[in-house]
Structure 1
């Protein structure tokens, strides 16, 4: 089933209106029946594709019981996954972490009406240090974290999972969603022993095209604990910590 059919099936008349608005490039203030507030998409960017992945094709359409209380959205982009989760789980608090300033500005627009979403302009990393990254091309997806300073790089603070847990007084992470453009290699290579056992559900997009060891590194880290694979949803791998069910 194509985008049009799925929009109509999932969202009825509001889906038809969304389809027409996207076709006409009218992407500011998109409303669908499953959301309490509209979302804002930048025209001629990957925002529209991200919207389709989440709200049409169901990249985060899975269930977790009991309902989550704490969700960390690492690589939050413009906040659409956080918006999806908060409408599905309105009692959950959500920490939305986004590296790129241009995406973060849009994230604030999309999440500002939700008091339970805390937006953090930083990059999730395995240690505390300033990150240098460069935006590649015109797509807001197109950035790459660099270990060395280069010309025209943007500097943002790196933040560790341990820092997030301490700052927000987190005991258990019900859902950890990770889409950090290849930096999952560093995140799952070291310094994960304190926080990974306290994750109930990991939803992660790995990037083997740019970091060929990406999926292997994540799976190796998970193998130290009692995680089991629940397969793939959209572009995401889903893992459940069987010790916390």
Structure 2
């Protein structure tokens, strides 16, 4: 009996919620689509143009089903900084759950940013400041290379190009309070957080997707030290599972990363 309970627990959990049922439908509809091909996706009341269907399915799960970006808003008009916005799934969630929030969205890739802005118009999501620049440690630009379907990285050597940047620290210091800082910037997080460590005192909630790239140092300890020194409590999880991890060193067979973690930081 325990085996069947274990086997069906996740499916049963998804079937109990509207968003979970939508995720199962998305997986059936789009899970087997060819990778890296743009497609129009409909889910609930939303319509998105996405560059890769499978990546969107995983985004939807993390954002709408598992609610990675949910936080308690103690202000009438919370301030949300979304660094690495991609095509706007996170913005749709933020606007739905925090309708009076002031949202600033940073997206480094100009083509993805154009898709993002079209998706916002398509879904009648307004009041979002979109900045088509990478968050970084200065405003002199940063070299990015293309990588997998839903990401570019400062470590990738494929189709590298110089993209405009902003110093995130400057933006943080202009605010008196930031209710949510979301950071999914594909390997730049350690450098950016280190540069921002004296500007995090008024950040209430922080999500960081941490990446460790092959042939580069793993810098998780640096990130955690910044969070600890800034007075955050934190929780870490990972969606990957590796049998025999001491001999299986790759992240889901990934050719560029060997670790990806989700870090949730908050203040009591």
Fold-level similarity (TM above 0.5): yes
Residue from 207, 212, 217 that aligns with 1:208? 212
Q: Residue in 2 aligned with 1:161?
A: 168
Does 1:237 find its partner at 2:263?
yes
| TM-superposed deviation, 1:65 | 3.9
Larger deviation, residues 227-236 vs 73-82 = 227-236
Which runs of no fewer than 5 residues in structure 1 stay unpaired?
none
Deviations 1:191-220 (A, max 9, x none): 531x21111111111113455433211111
- Which structure would you say has the larger RCO, counting Cα contacts within 8 Å and 6 or more residues apart? 1
| TM-superposed deviation, 1:170 | 2.4
Residue from 168, 176, 194 that aligns with 2:181? 176
Deviations 1:94-122 (A, max 9, x none): 11111122322221122232222211111
Residue from 82, 88, 96 that aligns with 1:87? 96
Compute the RMSD of aligned alpha carbons.
3.2
Q: Match of 1:6, SS?
A: helix
CA distance in 2, matches of 1:151, 1:73: 25
CA distance in 2, matches of 1:96, 1:4: 35
Q: Residue in 1 aligned with 2:115?
A: 106
CA distance in 2, matches of 1:208, 1:131: 18
Conserved 8 A contact 1:80-1:110: no
CA distance in 2, matches of 1:65, 1:233: 25
CA distance in 2, matches of 1:111, 1:3: 31
Q: Match of 1:119, SS?
A: strand
Q: TM-score, normalised by structure 1?
A: 0.78
Give the 3 Å change call, closer, same or farther, for CA 191–70 of structure 1 in structure 2.
closer
Larger deviation, residues 222-231 vs 36-45 = 36-45
Does 1:126 find its partner at 2:129?
no
Q: Residue in 1 aligned with 2:150?
A: 140
Residue from 167, 171, 194 that aligns with 1:189? 194
Q: Residue in 1 aligned with 2:242?
A: none
Deviations 1:67-111 (A, max 9, x none): 561011111121211211111111111111111223222211222
Conserved 8 A contact 1:134-1:154: yes
Conserved 8 A contact 1:41-1:48: no
Q: Match of 1:40, SS?
A: strand
Q: Residue in 2 aligned with 1:217?
A: 222
Q: Match of 2:182, SS?
A: strand
Q: TM-score, normalised by structure 2?
A: 0.72
| TM-superposed deviation, 1:47 | 2.8
Q: Residue in 2 aligned with 1:66?
A: 74
| TM-superposed deviation, 1:7 | 6.0
